[in-house]
Amino acid sequence: MNTATLHPPLTDARATSARPLWLAVGLVLCGGVLAVLGLGVGSTGLEAVWNMLADPVAAQIVWEIRAPRTVGAFAAGALLGLAGAVAQGLFRNPLADPFLLGSASGASLGVALALAGLGVSPFATGWVVRLGLTGAAFVGAVLAVLLTLALARGVQHTLRLLLAGVVVGVVLGALTSLVTLTTPDILQAMQAFMLGSTGFVGWASCALMAGIGFVCLLLSWGLSRVLDGLALGESTALSLGLPLGPLRAALVGVLALATGTAVAQTGLIAFVGLAAPHLVRAVVKTTHAWLVLLASLMGGVLLMLADTLARGLLAPQELPVGVLTAVLGGGYLLWLMRKRVG
């Protein structure tokens, strides 16, 4: 027997098993490069970075505005990427995104009610105002998910859960529009929230998103075997002895917590959670244990890239980052659909 013929398959297997690690390293390096670029992009350009040691104002611009915004963009993108990977595995649908359970509509309604009732604006700098809007968005997102679960009568039936999420999203979206119409003063503030922005993220928000992101990553990694089982079919998952009811509930909790936290801090940012898992799968084929980590890193890198472009393309003016993510993510998915159909 020619033993040389055994080596190529062994080499290929080792290379395949190492691809997720190399992708993770590459994404971390890309994130580092984008973080450096993010410190130099803004209305004052690179001058603030060069002069920050000698100029207290420049140092304040870099460390109190640009740095937390850059770190916050990565944290929010990581939360959305993780939530997207969990949603697609939970619903066994590659087009599932983190907002399917109505969390986005609930967060929007919460912010609209807070703005209409308290007369506050997201452009205000007071920490009480910011905490009020953030808390309203998070509570709205969580309550919307709970309403979805109540209408679906639990998490046992994936299709019923999906349909309930669509219904809740439509109804809460209509209520948000009604609140906005009855209180036109909040229209500009609601527009900023709906388009998404990382401009209001501070160090406290970064710490909150990082802490919750770490918890969600650990939980989703621990539940990755459930996602792998669901990918093979519900009957297969049951044959593995997995208690699907409680484990599905835990996955829904991770999805709601990650999505609600990101939306509460940055508003509605589309396509990051949907595109990040697809980009990972286009590079490597792996289990969900790696996918949730790689999708988190990919989501962070995508949102950092979009945020940097949003600040730099029309500087000193700024584009809404949600517009760029929609264009980039939508363009990629259209290309992917055309490639598969062709």
**pLDDT given at position 174:** 93
Helices (H), the chain: 7-40, 47-50, 56-61, 67-91, 103-118, 127-152, 158-182, 187-195, 203-222, 224-231, 234-239, 244-266, 272-283, 288-312, 321-341
Q: Give the residue from 209, 221, 338 showing the smallest Cα distance to 287.
A: 221
Output the pTM of the full model.
Answer: 0.84
Q: With respect to residue 14, please indicate whether it lies within any of the assigned structural domains.
A: no
Confidence of residue 78 (pLDDT cuts 50, 70, 90): very high
Q: What is the mean pLDDT of residues 330-338?
A: 75
Q: With respect to residue 318, please indicate whether it lies within any of the assigned structural domains.
A: yes
Overall domain count for the chain: 1
Q: Which CATH number do you get for residue 288?
A: 1.10.3470.10
Q: With respect to residue 141, please indicate whether it lies within any of the assigned structural domains.
A: yes
Q: With respect to residue 13, please indicate whether it lies within any of the assigned structural domains.
A: no
Q: Give the count of beta carbons closer than 10 Å to the beta carbon of residue 282.
A: 11
**pLDDT given at position 232:** 78
Q: With respect to residue 62, please indicate whether it lies within any of the assigned structural domains.
A: yes
Q: Is residue 11's pLDDT more than 70?
A: no
Q: With respect to residue 157, please indicate whether it lies within any of the assigned structural domains.
A: yes
Q: Is residue 7's pLDDT more than 50?
A: no
Q: With respect to residue 30, please indicate whether it lies within any of the assigned structural domains.
A: no
Q: With respect to residue 291, please indicate whether it lies within any of the assigned structural domains.
A: yes
| Cβ(75)–Cβ(208) below 8 Å | no
Confidence of residue 44 (pLDDT cuts 50, 70, 90): low
Summary mean pLDDT of the chain: 80
Tens of pLDDT along 171-209?
999 999 999 888 888 887 788 788 888 887 888 889 989
User: Domain range spanning residue 80?
Assistant: 38-341
